[in-house]
Amino acid sequence: MPDVASSRSIYVVTGCAGFVGSHVAERLLSRGDAVIGIDNMSGGKDPAVREANLSVPAGYGGFEFHRLDVRDGPAVTAALAGREISAIIHLAALVGVRASIEDPGAYFDTNVIGTLNMLECARESGPEQFVLGSSSSVYGDSERIPFREDDRTDEPISPYAASKKACEILCYTYFHTFGVQVACLRFFTVYGPRGRRDMAPFKFMDAIARGKPIEVFGDGKSERDYTYVDDIVAGVVAAAESRLGFEVINLGNSSPVTLDEFISAVEGVTGRAAVRVSLPEQPGDVHRTFADVTKAGKLLGYSPGTSLPDGLKAMYDWYAGEGGGRG
């Protein structure tokens, strides 16, 4: 039986078998806090990847796992009833811009109804803080850079982005109506060990390391503000400890690179040249992302310190060890 009761604070982490969630849970557990993890183990194509992610928090005594679907409101409410929870960190979601275009309904079902159910838990169990894993995609194809939290975000260009914006709006309503304190954190392209198989950093690293071709969408000039997972985790944990009312906060690196530059950096760490296959730009993909992290610095003490070469090196060390054998 996990030793949740004797630990310092109890945090709920949904999506704990995912990329970001497994890192957040690991960080909290490693400093002596308890984590109640919720995940329905549906993410990604390979169940072995989810199991491997989950085995990290599961290696700590303070971890308690519930295999539950966040769409099932009564089940999540029952799992958390009567617990003294410091914060709910809601990261469970259907992810990926391109897949959301195939099935918008599923994205709204999981992301919006799932968030509604977790906010209901927050209302009932009374944790002091709710943290939403939101996304830079809410900025749409904004021309104004860097992206600031008070920029317009009412023109998202994919169902995924629209679902994340809907989650943020719902969070505001729960703050205003029920007093639930919420930090909506807009993550900018997260990469690092245990990185998602469907995202460019893993796909490029895996293909280049194996000498296989990579698919390059567009002219290579699109820009992404790649952010190392440990920096994101530091921001998430600071937000979980904050009591700020309602805030929307960017968590990015504030140092975007072009797709061409990113591929060169991956070539650098793998020591191999990429074989490129050029394809047209994909619907739903924005041209650039670039976070202004001034607000995160002020409110959360956030200061992303990992350079792209250092972060990719750490990711490659993981990939060359346990990470590359799957997928």
Among residues 86, 115, 117, 135, which is the contact residue for ligand NAD, using CB under 6 A? Answer: 135
Is residue 248 within the footprint of ligand NAD (CB under 6 A)?
A: no
Among residues 4, 61, 66, 71, which is the contact residue for ligand NAD, using CB under 6 A? Answer: 71
Is residue 252 within the footprint of ligand NAD (CB under 6 A)?
A: no
Segment near ligand NAD (CB under 6 A); pick from 13-21, 119-127, 147-155, 285-293: 13-21
Is residue 190 within the footprint of ligand NAD (CB under 6 A)?
A: yes
* Spatial separation of the C-alpha atoms in residues 27 and 29, rounded to whole Å: 6
Which of residues 148 and 272 has its CB atom nearest to ligand NAD in the complex? Answer: 148
Task: Give the interface size with ligand NAD as a residue count (CB under 6 A).
Answer: 29
Is residue 235 within the footprint of ligand NAD (CB under 6 A)?
A: no
Is residue 42 within the footprint of ligand NAD (CB under 6 A)?
A: yes
Is residue 289 within the footprint of ligand NAD (CB under 6 A)?
A: no
Question: In angstroms, what is the minimal distance from the CB of 211 to ligand NAD?
Answer: 26
DSSP structure class, residue 318: H
Residue 224 tokens, joined: 């992404």
226 flagged as catalytic: no
Residue 257 tokens, joined: 């690179």
Is residue 95 within the footprint of ligand NAD (CB under 6 A)?
A: yes
Across the chain, which distance is largest between two alpha carbons, in Å?
55
Among residues 100, 110, 117, 129, which is the contact residue for ligand NAD, using CB under 6 A? Answer: 110
Is residue 65 within the footprint of ligand NAD (CB under 6 A)?
A: no
Among residues 10, 12, 34, 91, which is the contact residue for ligand NAD, using CB under 6 A? Answer: 91
Which of residues 42 and 278 has its CB atom nearest to ligand NAD in the complex? Answer: 42
Among residues 7, 13, 21, 27, which is the contact residue for ligand NAD, using CB under 6 A? Answer: 21
Which of residues 163 and 270 has its CB atom nearest to ligand NAD in the complex? Answer: 163
Q: Strand 87-90 vs strand 129-135: parallel, antiparallel, or unpaired? A: parallel
The residue annotated as part of the active site, out of 160, 191, 228, 316, is 160
Q: So which residues are the catalytic ones?
A: 160
Residues near ligand NAD (CB under 6 A) are 15, 17-21, 39-44, 50, 69-71, 91-95, 110, 114, 133, 135, 187, 189-190, 196
